[in-house]
Every structure is written in structure tokens, then in C-alpha cells.
Structure 1
């Protein structure tokens, strides 16, 4: 398949986790919202949602997709990405990708998937990739006709999750529930595997900085004994590996000591914010974790909003009740919070 590449468009995807107050559920017009939150939902109920939030007014709409379309998403949100005027919402259980207008959240189309999708990456206006959790593959999707193509899937590693594109290449994190430790590099020009990079155990998230370096969060593996009790002595600790996205080589790695789950990049401030047992800051020039803990608690997800210069985090509160998002200054001071849906998974910042 010959592909004509277009420039990457601005996307900042975020991940949430924590609590404070609640600004209610005031359904202002979606055009005013500058933050969307994708909430995973409860697997047994398939009730993932999108929450819209306006930082200026503090207004929220917890089920914004349902409000815009008169129907629920009816799936578990695995990821969501904004490209141009569209948001691509990846849902398992329903095994589909819902494509919506980024301003109104009105549905444009649905791509039905034959496997369990986890992430999406766009190649051109016509072609996208979808990572499939259970068969270790990438599917090719037709973005004009909203369908999975019949082209052969691309085999990658075990349980692929996060994907990031740089130029002609797509980097795929193979989590393997902690048993895989690779990032696959797929050449989008011919849909073949170009390289396999060794990283830490359980790579689950990839973030790209402005220098085209990839920050790969490797969760490690939590060990249990025969009684399903934690077995710390046999744990595989997590790490962060930094990859040069132009040469597909590992620049450096950071041993975290715990089991990190998320990262946010502040390119202007040269700081990365890592979720582990606590929230820590990493010097992006020296690749060292700063000695002083930023926030002495853990979160399920995080993102940095450049226009505000603040951190957004969220607290999932489990899978039986709505979660909470908290806004922090970079010194760790909490300044705002708002209620979101069940198991907040990511923030998406829109510039009005």
C-alpha cells in the first residue's frame, strides 16, 4: 500500500486520577469546552463516557457524547485521539472505533473491528492503524469508508497497546502483561515490521516530546504467590526508557523502583511527570528523577496542559462510581477539581 504522509496535527492526550471537590454537571455548549476526559467505564456495564469541561467557567457535562448523539458509546474506552477536526474513540467490549466531530462530539461514523482494539494511530486521511490486544497484531483501517480492511494484519508483540507515529514509522508498545519487553517499529510505507527494540518489562504507554524522543513507560510485573498474595521479592520493577524516534535506538533508561503507569511531558520546562507510588518529576535533560517528591500520592493517569502550565490528574475511585479530576500547579498545589465519569483514562485538550 503506497501512503502519502501528512504532518502530525496537534494532540495532547491525557490521563487522570484523584479527588477534591465537585463543580457539578452544568451542560454549557460543547463549543466552550477546552478539555475532554475519556472515562473507561465498568467492563461489565460497557459504560465508557466522554466528559467535557470548561476551565474558564468550571462547567462540566459528564456524558457529553450521549448528550450530543442521544445514545451511549456502549463500550469500554481504551484510548482516544484527536486528529484535525475528528476524535477517534477506541472501545473494546463493543470492539469498535467511534469517530466524532471534535467540537460537537456528534458521530461521523463507526468502524466495526473484528478483534479487541486498544489504540489508534492515523497514517493519512485515508488510512489508520489499530492495535489489537489479544492476537498481537495491528489492523489497517479505511478512514474514508469507515471499515477494517481485508489486508493481512501486521504481527507485533504480545498485547500491543500505545502507538505513536514519527514520520513514516509507528512505534508500538507491547505490554504482554509484564511478560513482553519490546517496542515494535512498523514501517507505514509498506506495512512491515522494521525494528524491534528491547526496553523494560511491560511497556504500556508512549509519550513523544518535541525532539521526537519517545518516553516509554514500562510498568514491570507485580508478582503473586500461590495464594494470590503479593510477592514483592519476585516483582519485576518498572522503568522509563527513552528512545530516539529518528534512529529507533534507546538513549537512556530510568529505574523507578515501583510500577509506573503514566507520564506527562512539559517540553518548555524540560520536566516529565511520572505516576508511580508517588508523583515525581524527571529532568528531561539529565534523565534523573528529582529527589523531592512532587505530590506524595499516586494517581491513575496524568497530563500537562501547556496553555495553562498546569497538571491534570484523575482519581478513578474504582469501577462502581464516578471519578474525579484535579488540577495542580507545577509546585504540587491543587487549585481546582471537577467530577468525571467512571475510571477516567485520558484528558484531551482543545484550543478554542
Structure 2
């Protein structure tokens, strides 16, 4: 169950931005049989889903859809597609991913993962997992973190059964796959001030944890670039220890860089990583773009036309893999409907839509 402390985790950021040192240039993308860490294929996007968290305890998580073909944005499509599900999507939507023809929606407070038809959002199955956080995929399996300290392994053809549970660190968060290894960010967020500070490495051929990599305290978001490097964020301790972004070399499983940049969330598309951070102390935000090939700062503000001043509280981010359009969500005051902004790859605003409460996570539906 997500407690109020977890809301603090998501609502804390720091504004300190320092210059980055140049790193070794990466030349060859990884090309493995995995969801992440591979070359991005040529794709065409049909639309996108927005998962709105809704405040803890309010049972107001909801799912919106933006149709690229007619430009229509529709709110709460889960309720319309599934009228027989009496409690709706549930309490605190924490992650959303599309894999094949199915969409996986992790609903933390309701202790479940809703598995939907990706084309129409109709319920296919429901998986009960205590305190689930994030989902990722490898071959025919879904991997789901639980704050109970494990990663659940689910056969994507037998969706109602957990095949096994892999023990990892304390309160595991986001994951990424490179080759046949699964990297898991462990937060230890319930154990203040004794946070976990490791990334678990799981061998996907045996579904066992082979090692832990010491990184920094209170880890959260974790993603792979196309060269096989792992980018992971630390929330810090919300006081004396600052949030930051670290890079792990998946060939050596060693930390090779600390960017010394605060990050609330980020998205990697090809050679670009888009990072944002919000400071509750100053009510100010940063929007930094990195070049992941050179591991350098490309821009200190990827929003080009001053619209960032209109964003009250940035909360989620995603980049269209075809057009390079950048989507940033605004949670505003947490209790009223939010906003999703679309910027072109030059950083100029294209349009906005009103979302549900606390828009947080985005998944692209491909044609």
C-alpha cells in the first residue's frame, strides 16, 4: 500500500544544477533480444494513453487517451470501456506499459495490475500483487516490482498467475532490461534514514539476483539507453543529500558517472534524455536535455518559448519515438484536473489538454 511518505517521495526535487564533465563517447548501440537497450525500430504512433494517479485514498486513478488520427483527447476511458468494474481503475495508478496487444496498468494502492486490450482498454485480466510499483518485459514474461521486496514474474500468456518471486532490495522501484539482465532500482523508502542504495542485477535466464551495485541512497527511476548504459535517479534524503542522476555501465556493472543533476523523472529517446526536476522548497523547475552518447548536457532548458512558466508542477514526461514530440504533464495542485503539454522537438508548444487528477505516466500506442 502506498503511504503518505510515498507521496513525499514523488513530490520532492532540488534545483541545484552543475556543469557536467565530458565522458567517453559511445559508438555502437546494443542490439539484444530485449525490450530496452536495443536500437529503436521505425514506428508509427496511433495515439497515447495517460495514466492519472489520483490522490492516495481517493480511488480516482483514471485513464485518458489522445487519438493522433482525429486529435481528440478523451478522459476516463477505462470507466467507459469497463462499466462492470464497479470500483473503476482504482487507487493510485503508478505505471503503464504496452507489450504486444496488451496494456499493463499498475495500480499501487489497490494492490493490483490491470491487464487491458491495448486497442480499446477493455479488461483482459487482473493480477493481484501487494504494493506493486513498476512493470517491464522480457520475451514472454512481465516483471513487476512489489514494495514487499521482490520482483514478480508473470507469464504473459497465463496472466492470472505469478510464476515466481525474485527477492531483491528494499522497496524496489523502476526496472530496465539490457541483454539478459534486469536492473532494479531499490529505494528503501520506508526505512528513513536507513535507505537502500543498490541496484539489483537479475539473470533473466535463471530469474535469480546475481549481484547488487552500490549507487546512492533512495533510488527511483531507472532506464537504459540504446548503448546499454543504465541511468538511475536518487531522490537523496530530501535534505542534506541532494537528488542526482547516475550512469551504470552494463558491461562492467559499475557506476561510471554522477551527473550531479537533480531529477524528478526522465525519458530517453535515441541519443537524447529529457530530465525535469521540481523543487518544493523554491517551487521552481528545471528542464535539462542530455546527449546520452557523449554523456554531456545538450541544453539547460528543452522548452524553448517560455511556456515552462505556465507549468505549475511537472509530474510526468514522455517522448514520441517517431516525431520527437515531448509530452510533459502538470499535476497542478494534486486535487484538481491536471494538464498535458505537447512540445515539438525544438521545444515549442503545440497544444495542451486537460487530464484527470495527477497525470503521471504515458504509454504510446503503435499502429
2:337 aligns to what SS in structure 1?
A: coil
The partner residue of 1:93 within 93, 100, 109 is 109
Counterpart of 2:287 in structure 1 is 279
1:162 aligns to what SS in structure 2?
A: strand
2:259 aligns to what SS in structure 1?
A: strand
Q: Does 1:190 align with 2:202?
A: no
Q: Which moved more, 1:74-83 or 1:138-147?
A: 138-147
Q: Aligned in 2, Cα 1:279/1:318: closer, same or farther, shift over 3 Å? A: same
1:300 aligns to what SS in structure 2?
A: strand
Q: Does 1:334 align with 2:330?
A: no
Counterpart of 2:10 in structure 1 is none
Counterpart of 1:119 in structure 2 is 134
2:182 aligns to what SS in structure 1?
A: strand
How big is the shift at 1:290?
Answer: 4.3
2:329 aligns to what SS in structure 1?
A: strand
Q: Deviations over 1:188-244 (max 9, x none)?
A: 222221121122332211122222222112222213xxxxxxxxxxx2112111122
Q: Separation in 2 of the partners of 1:46 and 1:245?
A: 39
Q: Separation in 1 of the partners of 2:128 and 2:289?
A: 40
* CA RMSD of superposed structures (Å): 2.5
Q: Aligned in 2, Cα 1:328/1:149: closer, same or farther, shift over 3 Å? A: closer
Counterpart of 1:164 in structure 2 is 176
8 Å Cα contact 1:201/1:238 also seen in 2: no
Q: Separation in 2 of the partners of 1:7 and 1:222?
A: 38
Q: Aligned in 2, Cα 1:141/1:284: closer, same or farther, shift over 3 Å? A: closer
8 Å Cα contact 1:34/1:351 also seen in 2: yes
Counterpart of 1:293 in structure 2 is 301
Q: Deviations over 1:243-292 (max 9, x none)?
A: 22344232322001x4x11112231xx32211123111123233233464
How big is the shift at 1:10?
Answer: 8.3
Q: Deviations over 1:132-182 (max 9, x none)?
A: 11x22222334333334374x322112111011223221101122372221
Q: Separation in 2 of the partners of 1:156 and 1:9?
A: 21
Q: Separation in 1 of the partners of 2:58 and 2:68?
A: 30
The alignment of Structure 1 onto Structure 2 pairs a total of residues equal to 309
Q: Does 1:106 align with 2:122?
A: yes
1:67 aligns to what SS in structure 2?
A: helix
Alignment of 1:132-171 (within 5 A): 132-133=146-147, 135-149=148-162, 151=164, 153-171=165-183
8 Å Cα contact 1:218/1:261 also seen in 2: no
Q: Separation in 2 of the partners of 1:7 and 1:63?
A: 35
Q: Aligned in 2, Cα 1:180/1:60: closer, same or farther, shift over 3 Å? A: same
Alignment of 1:123-272 (within 5 A): 123-125=138-140, 127-133=141-147, 135-149=148-162, 151=164, 153-177=165-189, 179-223=195-239, 235-256=240-261, 258=262, 260-267=263-270, 270-272=271-273
TM-score of the two chains, using structure 1 as the length reference = 0.80
How big is the shift at 1:117?
Answer: 0.7
Q: Separation in 1 of the partners of 2:207 and 2:229?
A: 22
Q: Separation in 1 of the partners of 2:36 and 2:294?
A: 26
Alignment of 1:307-322 (within 5 A): 307-322=322-337
8 Å Cα contact 2:94/2:134 also seen in 1: yes
Q: Aligned in 2, Cα 1:351/1:194: closer, same or farther, shift over 3 Å? A: same
